[in-house]
């Protein structure tokens, strides 16, 4: 007898509705309906059935095999792949080692997007260091900003002359 047949006989035996049985179990009435339709339910729902209706529903638990040690265990949800925290830690270490081996040939974390993909601004360093530039400006009895302004003015003057404006 499968789970849906067992729940249907339980409803008939108790002479109740699906919603009353759902309240007794502690689940929504749609869960009882999906059980009757033959859909798969999780171990949490089965454990509620066991608590409410008796140990004869324990046969419907879905056990899994641990990926690390190979023991059978009862998972709390379908995403759990290991039986204990120790096995879980070993599984994480195994996954991390696999990722490290696949990325060993390149170290992407140190590269910027511009270095990885060959795009981005090309930053040109100054021809002269700031200290040298500032000392030359002081010798000319000016400041760093005044020397920069004079250079820009000189460049724009030559551009005007080259365009025939000056």
Instruction: Please count the CA atoms within 13 angstroms of the CA of 39 that sit on its side-chain side.
Output: 10
Taking alpha carbons only, the member of 110, 117, 66 closest to residue 89 is 66
Could you tell me the two tokens for 117?
């993909």
Q: What are 72's strand-pairing partners?
A: 65
Cβ-based neighbour number of residue 93 at 10 Å: 10
> Which residues touch 34 (CB under 8 Å, ≥6 apart)?
41
Alpha-carbon distance of 60 to 73, in angstroms, equals 14
Taking alpha carbons only, the member of 91, 88, 16 closest to residue 52 is 16
Alpha helix positions (H), 27-143: 29-36, 43-53, 85-102, 113-117, 130-139
> Which residues touch 49 (CB under 8 Å, ≥6 apart)?
25, 57, 60
Domain residue ranges in the chain: 3-65, 130-162
Alpha-carbon distance of 79 to 37, in angstroms, equals 24
User: What tens digit of pLDDT does each residue of 22-65 get?
Assistant: 999 999 999 999 999 999 888 888 889 999 999 998 898 889 99
Could you tell me the two tokens for 132?
């040298």
pTM over 0.95: no
**Phi, psi angle pair for 164, to nearest 5°:** 80, 20
User: Which of residues 108 and 140 earns the better pLDDT score?
Assistant: 140
Q: Which CATH class name applies to 3-65?
A: mainly alpha
User: What tens digit of pLDDT does each residue of 92-107 get?
Assistant: 888 877 766 665 555 5
Q: How confident is the model at residue 112 (pLDDT cuts 50, 70, 90)?
A: low
């Amino acid at each position: 007898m499968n789970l849906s047949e067992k729940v249907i006989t339980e409803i008939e035996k108790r002479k109740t509705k699906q919603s009353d049985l759902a309240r007794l179990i502690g689940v929504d009435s749609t869960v009882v309906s999906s059980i009757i339709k033959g859909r798969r339910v999780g171990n949490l729902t089965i454990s509620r059935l066991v608590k409410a209706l008796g140990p004869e529903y324990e046969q419907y638990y879905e056990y899994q095999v641990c990926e690390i040690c190979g023991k059978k265990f009862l998972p709390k949800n379908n995403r759990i792949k290991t039986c204990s925290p120790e096995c879980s830690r070993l599984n994480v270490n195994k996954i991390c080692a696999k990722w490290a081996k696949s990325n060993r040939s390149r170290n992407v974390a140190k590269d910027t997007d511009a270095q990885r993909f060959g795009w981005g601004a090309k930053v040109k360093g100054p021809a002269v260091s700031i200290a040298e530039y500032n000392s030359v400006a002081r010798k000319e009895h000016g400041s760093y900003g005044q020397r920069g302004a004079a250079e820009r003015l000189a460049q724009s003057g030559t551009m005007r002359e080259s365009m025939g404006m000056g």
